[in-house]
Amino acid sequence: MGDIALLVGWALVCGSPRTWVVSLLGAAWFALAPFTEEPWLREQYGPAYDAYRQRVPRFLGPSARVEPV
């Protein structure tokens, strides 16, 4: 999320149409990257990764709190 905010801020400061194009492409790259990494992470870490995904949001938002047993 930090990289996306940085790119959008850079585009706002520069105000150039070319900067907006590069920034939007970069933001799309960072937004789509987790979707390509998740299958590999699930394969590598199995149930531990699934438990992690239930506790931690992908980008921003409330996380599902799991009470320890």
Q: What is the pLDDT along the chain (69 residues), one digit of tens a residue?
A: 889 999 999 999 998 999 999 999 999 999 899 899 999 999 999 999 999 988 888 877 776 555 555
Domain spans of the chain, in order of start: 2-55
Question: How many C-alpha atoms does 24 have within 13 Å on its Cβ side?
Answer: 7
H helices present in the chain, as ranges: 2-14, 17-45, 47-55
Question: What per-residue string of b and e applies to 11-37 under the rule 16 or more CB within 10 Å gives b?
Answer: beeeeeeeebeebeebbeebeeeeeee
- The pTM of this model reads 0.64
15: left (phi over 0), alpha (psi -120 to 50) or beta: left
